[in-house]
RNA sequence: GUGCCCGUAGCUCAAUGGAUAGAGCAUCAGCCUUCUAAGCUGAGGGUUACUGGUUCGAGUCCAGUCGGGCAUACCA
């Protein structure tokens, strides 16, 4: 849309004999009064040119030329901004691109031929998914969707561990409940998983085996069935909000010894050792991060001989690099904030390009009930479950709720509000705009025989009223909005944008009669509605919310 | 103590260093015999936690202070 403005400004600068290192910036003023586009170049250059910014701006404007019918006027405003006002017919004519490109509108091919991996959720199968995990899950899924619009081939991966101490405790927890069920229970330890789901698993085992397992000393059956049941419940929950993974990576495989006699973990130790970053003291093996200016070294292998979580983490990311991804995105909760810098450092030491790796950290979700903050813990069984949230507010609202805030903000989730919000929920505002358009188009097909096949599309140029042009102009912003969301790994940008589109449409709908207008204007307004629906649909697909045809 | 994130309307949150700091919810006042009122229009509500600094310009950047969250494990 604004592509032709930059060259015109640069040409004007050359004509005025101005050379500078400073980039020319175009921005969209918040207030329409200040034009459709604006540049601050005269303000930036006034010092090095030793000229009054307003005079400089006036001279630049003198020297600019544009194709006929594109720019309506240019003004100098405020301290020296140059403001561009576009011809409404030029804007409305450009809206045709939305319809021409259809589902592909907003896509680009900047990532074409490149592979990306997005890792998210990655919860170990020790219990049902909590609300907190849901935030990272939706964030990761939307980031993956965003990357796909840019042409990336995206692998969605889930990293989990079904071995180790936590799973041991899980197995024991189930056994305690099972023994209770058989009437032989002792006191249930505070250190174990107390959620009701443990009882359910024990009940399932009891239904299958009766009391036959009472004397079993093998924890395996308890652990394995718990893992299977919990993992399947996690996946079911994720599916309810349309989150699916292509690939499940088991941390355990990093421990298994391969044909060359080494595990992936061993290999990382060797590699880091060869670079001089491994030390042994206090009976443990350390990553010598003090050499990198950190306060302490980090344990990689405990004195017991077991690796700490850091070692497989590094091995896992090394594996991602070896799988030849061009872009590696990790979506973590804030509790991992201290860990990823070590992984990055290790990979850098091993000679990998760490600029390929990006980390999206989402701050915690705090849940409040009756204004009181509830502390969550899977172990204590008082965690707020994602499944229950979906039951209460539905899949669309659940998804939207998690991404309508910036990932760096703590998300305050008022459970009661969410429950009674079924009607006031922000998701309905967006969906209502879509349903309204669908209804309108149905009616148009019946009453006027309108067909969305492109005939008469050019009539949009005839629309000149403020609500129409503002809506059209906003629709043209969509591709840039996506690029910005991708750059920042921040789908929240999309939510705000779509909200503004819905708002502009409702305003247009209110002020401009459509079916009752003159035939040509009617057709033009129907095409504008169609373009709006296209942008809403494309945006909804990225956010993973449904586009209802009626409400 | 140290590191990271946050502090903006009564509440939940926006604002690539730009012009009069914006939405939603809540409150109040209007708009349906007319294309979906889950909508629209308007009103009230602010010392952007505080103090300095950088510059044409700071909610945004820098330094410090205060407050909240997370992390600072040979847990994952």
Most confident range, picked from A155-169, A316-330, A356-370: A316-330
Q: What is the torsional sign of CA A321, A326, A332, A334?
A: positive
pLDDT at position A424: 64
**Which residue's alpha carbon is at the shortest distance from the C1' of B2?**
A295
pLDDT tier for residue A426 given thresholds of 50, 70 and 90 = confident
Q: Are A516 and A440 a contacting pair, CB within 8 Å?
A: no
Determine whether the distance from the CB of A27 to the nearest atom of strand B is below 7 Å: yes
Assess whether pLDDT exceeds 60 at residue A49. Answer: yes
Estimate in Å the CA A111 to C1' B23 gap, whole number.
Answer: 33
pLDDT tier for residue A468 given thresholds of 50, 70 and 90 = very high
A282: left (phi over 0), alpha (psi -120 to 50) or beta: left
DSSP letter for each residue of A13-35: HHHTT---SSPP-EE--SSGGG-
Assess whether pLDDT exceeds 80 at residue A418. Answer: no
Rounded percentage of chain A residues whose pLDDT exceeds 70: 96
pLDDT tier for residue A268 given thresholds of 50, 70 and 90 = very high
Q: What's the whole-number mean pLDDT along residues A359-380?
A: 72
Determine whether the distance from the CB of A436 to the nearest atom of strand B is below 7 Å: yes
Burial zone of A62 (CB within 10 Å; 0-12 exposed, 13-18 middle, 19+ buried): exposed
Cα dihedral A230, A236, A238, A240 in deg (nearest 10): -150
Q: What's the whole-number mean pLDDT along residues A500-506?
A: 94
User: Rounded mean pLDDT of chain A?
Assistant: 90
CA of A517: nearest nucleotide by C1' is B35
Estimate in Å the CA A406 to C1' B52 gap, whole number.
Answer: 30
Bases on strand B under 7 Å from any protein CB: 2-7, 12-16, 18-20, 22-26, 34-41, 55-56, 68-76
Taking only the tens place, the pLDDT of each residue in A203-233 is: 999 999 999 998 887 888 999 999 999 999 9
Measured CA to CA, the distance from residue A290 to residue A312 in angstroms comes to: 20
pLDDT at position A385: 85
Q: Can you read off the two tokens belonging to residue A321? A: 């690099």
CA of A302: nearest nucleotide by C1' is B74
pLDDT tier for residue A328 given thresholds of 50, 70 and 90 = very high
Assess whether pLDDT exceeds 80 at residue A414. Answer: no
Determine whether the distance from the CB of A549 to the nearest atom of strand B is below 7 Å: yes
pLDDT at position A286: 95
H-helix segments, A16-130: 41-49, 53-62, 88-94, 96-101
Q: Can you read off the two tokens belonging to residue A357? A: 């790796």
Measured CA to CA, the distance from residue A434 to residue A432 in angstroms comes to: 5
Assess whether pLDDT exceeds 90 at residue A415. Answer: no
Estimate in Å the CA A311 to C1' B58 gap, whole number.
Answer: 44
Assess whether pLDDT exceeds 90 at residue A551. Answer: no
Determine whether the distance from the CB of A445 to the nearest atom of strand B is below 7 Å: no
Estimate in Å the CA A466 to C1' B31 gap, whole number.
Answer: 20
**Which residue's alpha carbon is at the shortest distance from the C1' of B69?**
A410
Q: What's the whole-number mean pLDDT along residues A384-412?
A: 87
Q: Are strands A357-362 and A327-333 parallel, antiparallel or unpaired?
A: parallel
**Coil, strand, or helix at residue A393?**
helix
pLDDT tier for residue A166 given thresholds of 50, 70 and 90 = confident
Rounded percentage of chain A residues whose pLDDT exceeds 90: 64
pLDDT tier for residue A372 given thresholds of 50, 70 and 90 = low
Question: Residue A420: in which H helix or E strand, if any?
Answer: helix A415-420
pLDDT at position A371: 62
pLDDT at position A280: 94
Q: What's the whole-number mean pLDDT along residues A30-59?
A: 88
Determine whether the distance from the CB of A507 to the nearest atom of strand B is below 7 Å: yes
pLDDT tier for residue A391 given thresholds of 50, 70 and 90 = confident
Estimate in Å the CA A271 to C1' B60 gap, whole number.
Answer: 43
Q: What is the torsional sign of CA A209, A211, A217, A219?
A: positive
Measured CA to CA, the distance from residue A366 to residue A55 in angstroms comes to: 54
- Higher-pLDDT residue of A381 and A14 is A14
pLDDT tier for residue A97 given thresholds of 50, 70 and 90 = very high
Determine whether the distance from the CB of A44 to the nearest atom of strand B is below 7 Å: yes
Lowest mean pLDDT, pick from A3-7, A410-414, A420-424? A420-424
Q: What's the whole-number mean pLDDT along residues A397-417?
A: 84
Determine whether the distance from the CB of A499 to the nearest atom of strand B is below 7 Å: yes
pLDDT at position A46: 84
pLDDT at position A204: 94
Q: What's the whole-number mean pLDDT along residues A505-533?
A: 95
Determine whether the distance from the CB of A309 to the nearest atom of strand B is below 7 Å: yes
CA of A493: nearest nucleotide by C1' is B14
Estimate in Å the CA A356 to C1' B76 gap, whole number.
Answer: 25
Q: What's the whole-number mean pLDDT along residues A77-91?
A: 92
Determine whether the distance from the CB of A483 to the nearest atom of strand B is below 7 Å: no
pLDDT tier for residue A40 given thresholds of 50, 70 and 90 = very high
pLDDT at position A333: 87
Assess whether pLDDT exceeds 70 at residue A64. Answer: yes
Beta bridge partners of A411: A365
Residue linked to tokens 């670079």: A275
Determine whether the distance from the CB of A510 to the nearest atom of strand B is below 7 Å: yes
Residue linked to tokens 């592509």: A3
Instruction: Tell me how far CA of residue A365 lies from CA of A117, A136, A253, A270, A362, in angstroms.
Output: 25, 10, 31, 39, 9
ipTM (interface pTM): 0.93
pLDDT at position A4: 85
pLDDT tier for residue A236 given thresholds of 50, 70 and 90 = very high
pLDDT tier for residue A132 given thresholds of 50, 70 and 90 = confident
Determine whether the distance from the CB of A368 to the nearest atom of strand B is below 7 Å: no
Instruction: Tell me how far CA of residue A208 lies from CA of A167, A215, A218, in angstroms.
Output: 22, 16, 17
Cα dihedral A423, A427, A431, A436 in deg (nearest 10): 50
pLDDT at position A375: 60
Strand B proximity: list residues 245-264 of A with CB under 7 Å.
251
Lowest mean pLDDT, pick from A234-248, A401-415, A487-501? A401-415
Assess whether pLDDT exceeds 90 at residue A192. Answer: no
Determine whether the distance from the CB of A423 to the nearest atom of strand B is below 7 Å: yes
Determine whether the distance from the CB of A299 to the nearest atom of strand B is below 7 Å: yes
Cα dihedral A539, A541, A544, A548 in deg (nearest 10): 90
Q: Can you read off the two tokens belonging to residue A131? A: 């609300």
Beta bridge partners of A329: A118, A358
Measured CA to CA, the distance from residue A418 to residue A322 in angstroms comes to: 44
Q: Can you read off the two tokens belonging to residue A371? A: 């204004």
**Which residue's alpha carbon is at the shortest distance from the C1' of B24?**
A426
H-helix segments, A210-295: 220-240, 264-274
Q: What's the whole-number mean pLDDT along residues A443-455?
A: 90
pLDDT at position A235: 95
Nearest of A481, A472, A549, A458 to residue A504 by alpha carbon: A472
**Coil, strand, or helix at residue A249?**
strand
Measured CA to CA, the distance from residue A323 to residue A326 in angstroms comes to: 9
pLDDT at position A20: 79
Measured CA to CA, the distance from residue A171 to residue A192 in angstroms comes to: 10
Estimate in Å the CA A6 to C1' B9 gap, whole number.
Answer: 38
Starting at the edge strand found earlier in the chain, the sheet holding A365-369 runs A372-374, A365-369, A411-414
**Which residue's alpha carbon is at the shortest distance from the C1' of B36?**
A436
Estimate in Å the CA A33 to C1' B62 gap, whole number.
Answer: 33
pLDDT at position A417: 73
Measured CA to CA, the distance from residue A130 to residue A385 in angstroms comes to: 4
Strand B proximity: list residues 188-217 of A with CB under 7 Å.
none
Q: Are A212 and A179 a contacting pair, CB within 8 Å?
A: no
Assess whether pLDDT exceeds 80 at residue A420. Answer: no
pLDDT tier for residue A116 given thresholds of 50, 70 and 90 = very high
- Phi first, then psi: what are they for A200, rounded to 5°? -60, -40
Assess whether pLDDT exceeds 80 at residue A374. Answer: no
């Amino acid at each position: 849309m604004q592509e032709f403005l930059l060259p015109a400004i640069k040409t004007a600068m050359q004509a005025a004999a101005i050379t500078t290192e400073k980039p020319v910036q175009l921005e969209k003023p918040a207030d329409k009064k200040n034009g459709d586009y604006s540049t601050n170049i005269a303000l930036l250059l006034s010092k090095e040119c030793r000229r009054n910014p307003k005079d400089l701006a006036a001279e630049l404007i003198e020297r600019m030329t544009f194709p006929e019918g594109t720019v309506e006027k240019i003004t100098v405003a405020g301290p020296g901004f140059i403001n561009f006002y576009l011809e409404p017919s030029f804007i409305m004519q450009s809206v045709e691109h939305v319809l021409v490109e259809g589902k592909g509108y907003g896509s680009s091919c900047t990532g074409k031929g490149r592979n990306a991996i997005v890792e998210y959720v990655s919860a170990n199968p020790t219990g049902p998914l909590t609300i907190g995990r849901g935030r990272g899950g939706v964030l990761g899924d939307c980031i993956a969707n965003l990357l796909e619009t840019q042409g990336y081939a995206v692998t969605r991966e889930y990293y989990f561990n079904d071995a180790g101490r936590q799973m041991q405790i899980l197995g024991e927890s189930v056994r305690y409940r099972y023994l209770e069920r058989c009437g032989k229970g002792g006191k249930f330890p505070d250190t174990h998983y107390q959620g009701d789901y443990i009882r359910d698993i024990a009940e399932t085992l009891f239904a299958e085996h009766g009391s036959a397992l009472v004397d079993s000393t093998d924890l395996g059956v308890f652990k394995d069935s718990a893992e299977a049941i919990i993992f399947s419940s996690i996946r079911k929950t994720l599916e309810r909000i349309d989150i699916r993974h292509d690939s499940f990576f088991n941390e355990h495989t990093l421990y298994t010894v391969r044909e060359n006699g080494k595990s992936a973990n061993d290999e990382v130790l060797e590699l880091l050792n060869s670079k001089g970053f491994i030390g042994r003291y206090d009976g443990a093996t350390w990553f010598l991060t003090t050499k990198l200016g950190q306060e302490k070294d980090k344990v990689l292998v405990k004195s017991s001989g077991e690796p700490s979580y850091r070692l497989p983490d590094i091995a896992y990311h090394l594996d991602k690099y070896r799988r030849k991804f061009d872009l590696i995105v990790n979506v973590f909760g804030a509790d991992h904030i201290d860990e990823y810098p070590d992984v990055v450092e290790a990979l850098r030491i091993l000679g990998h390009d760490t600029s390929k790796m990006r980390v999206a950290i989402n701050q915690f979700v705090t849940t409040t009930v009756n204004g009181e903050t509830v502390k969550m813990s899977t172990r204590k069984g008082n965690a707020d479950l994602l499944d229950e949230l979906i039951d209460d507010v539905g899949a669309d609202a659940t998804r939207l709720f998690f991404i309508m805030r910036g990932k760096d903000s703590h998300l305050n989730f008022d459970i009661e509000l969410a429950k009674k919000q079924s009607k006031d929920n922000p998701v309905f505002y967006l969906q209502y705009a879509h349903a309204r358009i669908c209804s309108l188009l149905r009616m148009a097909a019946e009453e006027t025989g309108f067909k969305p096949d492109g005939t008469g599309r050019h009539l949009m140029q005839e629309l000149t009223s403020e609500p129409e042009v503002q809506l059209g102009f906003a629709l043209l912003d969509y591709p840039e909005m996506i690029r910005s969301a991708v750059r920042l790994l921040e789908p929240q940008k999309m939510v705000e944008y779509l909200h503004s589109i819905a708002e502009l449409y409702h305003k247009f709908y209110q002020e401009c009669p459509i079916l009752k207008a003159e035939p040509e204007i009617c057709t033009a307004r129907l095409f504008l509605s169609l373009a709006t629906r296209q942008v809403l649909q494309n945006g909804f697909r990225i956010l993973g919310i449904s586009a209802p045809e009626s409400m």
